[in-house]
Amino acid sequence: MIRVGVVDDQRLFASGMQMLVDAQDDMTCVGIAVDGAAALELCAAEHPDVLLLDLRMPVMNGIETLARLAATTDDRPRVIALTTIRRDDAVLSALRAGAAAFLTKDALPDVVTATIRDVHEGRPAPTETEALDLLRAQGVAVEVHRRDEVLDALSAREREVFLLVAKGLSNAEIAASTFISEATVKSHVRAVLTKLGLRNRIQVVITAHERGLVRA
């Protein structure tokens, strides 16, 4: 059962998300919070697996909430950022801060539930393509002495998988292009995240683009 928390200051929207989650056989909503401070309390008390987090809220916004969650030593939920505007600078900031995916508030129910499931399992979310487009439009490469220094900690196969994830390929597509099993790809992706200290696939994409390791 996927434990989901909802954080949004619009109570009607939050209640609707709660109803949608609770209507699924494999999900349960463990609580609603109306601002970032309350979200931290919710996470500490209920330990949700996935957190739907609005980016623009009173008291503490979504970006600061993500930063506070990243600083905790306990198991952190995988975060899906909620936004009203698809091409919002706050979305890119949220992805950089560790959000695994984002959803616009007009997303179809099937997209919402599919995103929750995919983020929970560490799979590419349905909005990953949009995140790539956003990054290509707004991302800026970082000036570093050696652009590829981030890859030094990785084996040759892990570097290959890193670059293919950065190009937006799914695990199945990576498996097909490298002639290894999908299970082996998953193992390599986990190793890449661990060695580079990254939270999710989106951060792989951001890291590669900001260092000019893949073409925008």
Q: What is the pLDDT of residues 155-165, one digit of tens each?
A: 999 999 999 99
**pLDDT band at residue 146, thresholds of 50, 70 and 90?**
low
C-alpha Rg value of the chain to the nearest Å? 17
Same domain, 124 and 149: no
Give yes or no for a contact between 174 and 185, defined as CB atoms under 8 angstroms apart.
yes
Q: Which residue among 95, 115, 137 closes a domain? A: 137
In a domain, residue 83? The reply is yes
Q: Which helix (H) or strand (E) holds 29?
A: strand 27-33
Q: Which residue among 137, 171, 192 closes a domain? A: 137
Q: Which helix (H) or strand (E) holds 61?
A: none
In a domain, residue 215? The reply is no
* Percent of the chain predicted with pLDDT > 90: 48
